[in-house]
């Protein structure tokens, strides 16, 4: 895949900067993608994952960094979009040396990119990276950070799901609804708790046996399935993808029986056109980068001095943003994903334009 070939698109599309980072001694191979700094420094987490190839790692960081730009714009943050991936198995490669080497590469960008946690990286890792650069969020409370960002990510997903439920059924509660949660990781675990507290019936699955064991012990009332594809095709009202992206594809969407899709995973749509396939089947899709913005709201708040109550209040507003997008989609006769893109692009263009006004 040619990097510049990915920018052969309209002026509003295309990455500003893609940086390849390597430290052979520690085994570090990382890619940092900065999609846009129109609204401010790019913010997005670092994913540590054993990609099948360098091409797969590059494709993921390009998709994820673009998604972060749109997510940050719709969250009302004065931050652009970026993302990083470290190529490799974190259980085998992760070390203090590797993380500090990565931190030095982040530092070379001079504040154009702030990193945070993502799949395969945790708060403790951010504390190590911060020993080499100050452009890190999602740090531990011991170091003045916010701690686990999955808490407000799950809260925001729940708010987006409530808004979608209101749009679909006229009520903002999930009480009596059957919700399928695909993925019981950092976010999925918290989301299950919110759903049960709201009176929903939960069906869940995960590829990790430890996650399933946690669910059996913590929430024995949750129905567990071994097969993720079986969950998508089961008799559920809401499908909540909360693991890796791309699960809404040409095979899973025709089999979906849910009325609403709202989950925490990034880049849930496998390719352009899936949003129309969902709409044609009468399935209401709450765009992932809208409803899962609670985590980035939390780590962004950390930059100005973290206050949990303030961050939670901002994450709660995901309910209002989701309602606005679903209403706009109906008014303009487009899928919600298209309506969300339009709102994000409008804010990036209008606020980004102000940067052309030179200050004294």
CATH of 150-292+323-344, one of 1.10.3720.10, 3.10.20.600, 3.40.50.720, 3.90.1150.10: 3.40.50.720
Domain 17-69+79-147 has CATH 3.40.50.2000: no
| For residues 318-333, average pLDDT | 97
Query: Of 83, 94, 189, 312, which one is the catalytic site residue?
Result: 83
Confidence of residue 330 (pLDDT cuts 50, 70, 90): very high
What pLDDT, on the 0 to 100 scale, is given for residue 138?
92
State the chain's mean pLDDT as an integer.
Answer: 93
| For residues 141-145, average pLDDT | 91
Quote the tokens at residue 301: 């708040």
- Rounded Cα distance, 249 and 253, in Å: 6
Q: Long-range pairs for 243-247 at CB < 8 Å and ≥24 separation? A: 243/182, 243/183, 243/185, 243/188, 243/206, 243/207, 244/119, 244/183, 245/63, 245/288, 246/270, 247/182
Confidence of residue 360 (pLDDT cuts 50, 70, 90): confident
| Contact yes or no for 323/167 (Cβ under 8 A) | yes
Nearest alpha carbon to residue 336 among 10, 70, 15 = 70
What pLDDT, on the 0 to 100 scale, is given for residue 6?
52
What pLDDT, on the 0 to 100 scale, is given for residue 83?
97
| Contact yes or no for 248/284 (Cβ under 8 A) | no
- Rounded Cα distance, 260 and 256, in Å: 10
Confidence of residue 352 (pLDDT cuts 50, 70, 90): confident
- Rounded Cα distance, 270 and 248, in Å: 6
Confidence of residue 7 (pLDDT cuts 50, 70, 90): very low
Q: Three-state SS for 234?
A: coil
Parse the chain into domains and list their residue ranges: 17-69+79-147, 150-292+323-344
CA atoms within 13 A on the CB side of 45: 25
| For residues 37-58, average pLDDT | 96
pLDDT at residue 2 tops 70 = no
The answer on whether 183 is annotated among ligand-binding residues is yes
Asked if the domains at 17-69+79-147 and 150-292+323-344 fall in one CATH topology, the answer is yes
Give per-residue pLDDT as tens, 105-124. Answer: 999 999 999 999 988 999 99
The answer on whether 290 is annotated among ligand-binding residues is no
pLDDT at residue 3 tops 90 = no
In the chain, % of residues over pLDDT 90: 85
The answer on whether 186 is annotated among ligand-binding residues is yes
Confidence of residue 126 (pLDDT cuts 50, 70, 90): very high
Strands of the chain (E only): list them.
17-23, 28-36, 42-43, 46-49, 80-87, 113-114, 178-182, 201-205, 223-225, 238-241, 260-261, 284-285
Give per-residue pLDDT as tens, 260-278. Answer: 999 999 889 999 999 999 9
The answer on whether 238 is annotated among ligand-binding residues is no
Catalytic residue status for 83: yes
What pLDDT, on the 0 to 100 scale, is given for residue 171?
97
Q: H or E stretch including 349?
A: helix 336-353
Nearest alpha carbon to residue 298 among 81, 102, 139, 113 = 139
Say what angle helices 294-303 and 54-74 make with each other, to 10 degrees: 80
The distance in angstroms from the start CA to the end CA of the chain is 43
What pLDDT, on the 0 to 100 scale, is given for residue 94?
98
pLDDT at residue 36 tops 50 = yes
pLDDT at residue 11 tops 70 = no
The answer on whether 123 is annotated among ligand-binding residues is no
What pLDDT, on the 0 to 100 scale, is given for residue 212?
94
State the CB neighbour count (10 A cutoff) for residue 121. Answer: 25
Q: Three-state SS for 238?
A: strand
The answer on whether 276 is annotated among ligand-binding residues is no
- C-alpha angle 31-296-164 in degrees, rounded to nearest 5: 120
Task: Name the most confidently modeled range: 137-146, 224-233, 269-278, 314-323.
Answer: 314-323
| For residues 336-341, average pLDDT | 95
């Amino acid at each position: 895949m040619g990097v510049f070939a990915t920018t052969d698109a309209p002026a509003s599309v295309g990455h500003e900067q893609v940086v390849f980072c390597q430290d052979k001694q520690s085994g570090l191979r990382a890619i940092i993608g900065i999609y846009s700094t129109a609204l401010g420094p790019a913010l997005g987490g670092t994913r540590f994952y054993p990609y099948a190839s360098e091409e797969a790692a590059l494709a993921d960081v390009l998709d994820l960094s673009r998604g972060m730009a749109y997510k940050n714009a719709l969250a009302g943050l004065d931050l652009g979009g970026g993302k990083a991936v470290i190529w490799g198995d974190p259980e085998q490669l992760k070390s203090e040396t590797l993380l500090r080497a990565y931190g030095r590469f982040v530092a070379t960008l001079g504040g154009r990119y702030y990193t945070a946690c993502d799949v395969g990286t945790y708060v403790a890792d951010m504390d190590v990276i911060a020993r080499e650069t100050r452009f890190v969020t999602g740090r531990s409370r011991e170091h003045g950070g916010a701690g686990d960002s999955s808490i407000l990510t799950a809260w925001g997903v729940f708010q987006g799901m409530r808004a979608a439920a209101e749009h679909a059924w006229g009520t903002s509660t999930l009480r009596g609804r059957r919700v399928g949660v695909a993925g019981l990781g950092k976010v999925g675990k918290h989301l299950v708790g919110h759903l049960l507290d709201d009176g929903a019936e939960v069906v869940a699955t995960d590829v990790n046996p430890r996650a399933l064991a946690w669910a059996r012990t913590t929430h024995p009332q949750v129905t567990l399935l071994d097969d993720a594809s079986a969950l998508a095709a089961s008799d559920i009202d809401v499908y909540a993808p909360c693991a890796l992206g791309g699960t809404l594809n040409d095979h899973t969407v025709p089999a979906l029986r849910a009325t609403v899709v709202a989950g925490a995973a990034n880049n849930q749509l496998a390719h352009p056109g899936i949003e129309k396939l969902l709409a044609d089947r009468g399935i209401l899709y709450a765009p992932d980068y809208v409803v899962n913005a609670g985590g980035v709201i939390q780590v962004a708040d950390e930059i100005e001095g973290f206050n949990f109550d303030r961050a939670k209040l901002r994450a709660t507003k995901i309910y209002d943003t989701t309602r606005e997008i679903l209403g706009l989609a109906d008014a303009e006769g487009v899928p919600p994903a298209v309506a969300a893109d339009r709102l994000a692009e409008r804010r990036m263009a209008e606020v980004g334009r102000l940067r052309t006004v030179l200050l004294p």
